[in-house]
Amino acid sequence: MFPEDGPERRVLTVRQLNEEISAAVDRAFPGTIWVRGEVQRLPVDAARRTHVYFELHEAGRSGAAEYQIPVSLMGWDRQRYGLGSFLDGSDPDFQLANKMEVCLECQVDFYAKFGKMSLKIVGVDKSFALGKLEALRRETLAFLQAQELLERNASIPLPDLPLRIGLITSPGSAAEQDFMTGIERSPWAFRVSLRGAKMQGDQLEAEVIRALQAHVAAGVDVVVITRGGGSRADLSWFDQRELAVAIAEAPVPVITAIGHEIDRSIADLVAHHSCKTPTAGAEYLVDRVGQASRQLDKAAERLKVTLTGLLDTARDRVEVGDRMGMAIRGVLLRSRIRLQHMAGRFQDLVSVQLNIRERRLSGLETGLVSRTIAVVGRSTSRLDRLHLQVVTSANGRLSSAVDRYRGATRRLGREALRPLVAGQTRVEGLATQARLLDPERLLARGYTLTLGPLGTALTSADSVVAGDCIRTRFSDGEVTSIVQPAGKFPGSSSSSNRKGKQSGGKGKKTDPGQKTLFR
C-alpha cells in the first residue's frame, strides 16, 4: 500500500521531472561552454552524414576511460557555424578523428522526451588540438633520438636495382594510381606487390606495421609507404611512436611518399628517403634504376675500350707466335726422326736379349721336369708305406674295440635282469598279501559287513541313530535294516534292550548265529 498524499509530499510525472531537469540545465549553462576530451566512436563516414554522433572520453588514473558524454554535430549547426571542413578534411590544418584530444565549444542539451543529456558542437579550438599533437610529436622525436633510431634505416644501402617493390597504401586510391603510373611508364622490369592499409585514423599504425612486416618477409628490395595530400591533423597519424620504430628498424630501405608540401611527418624523418608525392616516389626509384643503367653503360664502354686494346696486343703476339710455331714444328720433325732411329736400335737390342733368355728358360725347364719326376716317385713310395702302416694299426684297434663292446654287452644283460627279478618277487608277495586281506574271504568264513546311510563301513554303534537305513553284506547277498530305538523290538523287554545296547548293537536286529565284521 502507498501512503496517502500529505501536504508536504510532491509527486512529479516523468514529463514534469524531465522538464524541470531541462530547465535546471538551461539555468546552470545559459550559454556555450568549452569541453576538453578524447574523441571516440566517431563514424568512419562522418563527412557524408547529415547528423554526426560520437562521444568525448576522459581517462582516469588507470589510463582507462572513466567518464564519457554523448556529443552531436547537427546538420544545421554544421552549415551555420562552418564545421563541415573539420569532418571532410577541407580544413588545411585540422580534421576530427578518433583518439584525438580536442577542445570543443558546446551547448549543454537535455532532451526532455528521452531524458538524455548531450553536447551540441558549435565551435572547435584548432590550436588546442594542434598544440597537443605537436607536444606528442616532440616527445616521440626525443625518444627516437635517445634510442638512435632517426638515422638507422637511412644507413641501410639502397640496392642499385630496386626492382622488387613492396607498396603500402589504400587500395584503389589516387596515391596508388599515381605511383603505379610512374612505375609502368619506365622501361625497367619493376615488380610491385601491394598490401593495403588505412592511411588515416586509429587503425593506420597497426595496419601499416603488419604490411611492412609482410613485405620484409617476402624479400622485397624496398618498401614504399604512400598516400595523397591532407591536413596537418591527417599528417599526425604518421607521427606515432610504434610506426616510427617499425620503419627505423626495418631491415630494408623504406621510402615515404606522403602528399604534403610543408611539414614532414616523423615517418619521413626515420625513413631511408622521403618524397613529396606518390609520383615523386615512383620517379625516385625509376631514376635510381636509370642511374644504375647509365653506370652499367659507361662500364660497358670502358670494358669495350679495354678489350679492344687487349685484342690488338694479342694480335701482335699472335704474329710472333706464328713464327715461333714454324720453328717449333721444325724441331718437332727432327725430334720425330731421331726417335724413330732410336726405336729401331732399341728393337734390335731387345730381340737379342729375348733370344738369350729363351735359351736359358728352355734349359731350366728341362732340369725342372727331371727333378719333379724324381720327387714325385719318392713321395709315392713314402705314401704307400704310410698307407700300409695306417691300415695295419686301424685293424688292430678295431678288433680290440669289438672285443670290448661284446664284453660290455654281456655285462649289461646280466645287470639289467637283477632289478627285474627283485621287482617280480616283491609284486608276487604283495599279490599274496592282497588275497589274504580280501574282505570276501572273511565274508565266506561267516563274518558280515555293515554299511551306514552314507555307504561307509560302521565301526561303532554311535555312528547311527534311530531311523537310519543301514545295509548288512553277507557272502551270498545283502540285507537292508532300519535302526529302531531301544526297547521297541517286538517281544523284547527293557532289560534285554539295555543289554543289547551295551553290546554295541544299538537296537540293530541280527541273526544270533551270524558273525559281524567291521572295517
- Give DSSP secondary structure letters for 422-442: HHHHHHHHHHHHHHHT-HHHH
Residue 331 is predicted with a pLDDT of: 79
Residue 242 is predicted with a pLDDT of: 92
- Supply 225's cell numbers: 609507404
Surface-to-core class of residue 255, CB atoms within 10 Å of its CB (0-12 exposed, 13-18 middle, 19+ buried): buried
Q: Is 467 helix (H, G, I), strand (E, B) or coil?
A: coil
How many Å apart are CA 186 and CA 197, to the nearest integer?
Answer: 26
Q: Is the dihedral of CA 144, 150, 155, 157 positive or negative?
A: positive
Q: Which CATH number fits domain 153-292: 3.40.50.2300, 3.90.180.10, 3.10.180.10, 2.60.40.10?
A: 3.40.50.2300
- In the chain, the amino acid numbered 80 is R
- What is the arrangement of strands in the sheet containing 449-451, beginning at the earlier edge strand? 449-451, 469-474, 477-482
**159 secondary structure, DSSP code:** P
CATH superfamily of 14-124: Nucleic acid-binding proteins (2.40.50.140)
- Supply 96's cell numbers: 576530427
Residue 102 pairs with which residues in a beta bridge? 37
Query: Rounded to two decimals, what is the model's pTM?
Result: 0.44
Tens place of pLDDT per residue across the chain (519 aa): 455 555 678 899 999 999 999 999 999 999 999 999 988 899 989 989 999 999 999 887 766 778 899 999 999 999 899 898 888 878 777 788 888 888 999 999 999 999 999 999 999 988 787 667 777 777 888 888 889 888 999 999 999 889 999 999 999 999 999 999 999 999 998 999 999 998 887 788 899 999 999 999 999 999 999 988 766 667 778 888 899 999 999 999 999 998 765 668 888 889 999 998 899 999 999 999 988 888 887 877 888 788 877 887 777 777 666 777 777 877 788 877 877 777 777 777 767 777 787 778 877 877 777 787 887 778 778 888 887 887 777 777 877 877 887 887 778 777 777 777 788 888 888 888 877 777 777 777 788 888 888 888 888 888 888 888 999 988 888 899 998 887 655 554 444 344 333 334 444 444 444 444 443
How many Å apart are CA 265 and CA 227, to the nearest integer?
Answer: 12
Residue 449 pairs with which residues in a beta bridge? 473, 517
Residue 123 is predicted with a pLDDT of: 92
Contact 33, 108 (CB under 8 A): yes
Residue 126 is predicted with a pLDDT of: 81
Domain regions of the chain by residue span: 14-124, 153-292, 443-502
Residue 6 is predicted with a pLDDT of: 57
Q: Which residue's entry shows cell 724441331?
A: 331
Residue 224 is predicted with a pLDDT of: 95
How many Å apart are CA 248 and CA 223, to the nearest integer?
Answer: 12
